[in-house]
Amino acid sequence: MAKNRSTAINTNPEILNGTPVFMGTRVPIKNLFDFLEAGRTIEFFIQQFPSVKKSQVITVLTLAEHLIVTPNEDSSRRVPA
């Protein structure tokens, strides 16, 4: 899973003060979730940010799903119900 993250997400203090962005872009990952929360599609997001590849979007969503759905023994990362 870490390899997928490294091909999709970049966090660099020199790029947007370390805000997580899609690798090779200056597009914040949060923008994707904002678009989805607003009811926009992945296709619309990619049209608005053509530097982001669909495979990167799928990887980010898969990573998010993994963090939410997969039980984690490290309780410090759990979100309280």
- Domains of the chain, earliest start first: 2-68 (1.10.10.10)
- Chain segment 44-71, per-residue pLDDT in tens: 999 999 999 999 999 999 999 998 887 7
pTM above 0.75, yes or no: yes
In the chain, alpha helices (H): 2-8, 29-37, 42-48, 54-69
Specify the amino acid at residue 73. E
- Chain segment 5-42, per-residue pLDDT in tens: 678 999 999 999 999 999 999 999 999 999 999 999 99
Please enumerate in sequence order all residues whose Cβ is within 8 A of that of 55, keeping only pairs 6 or more positions apart, or say none. Answer: 8
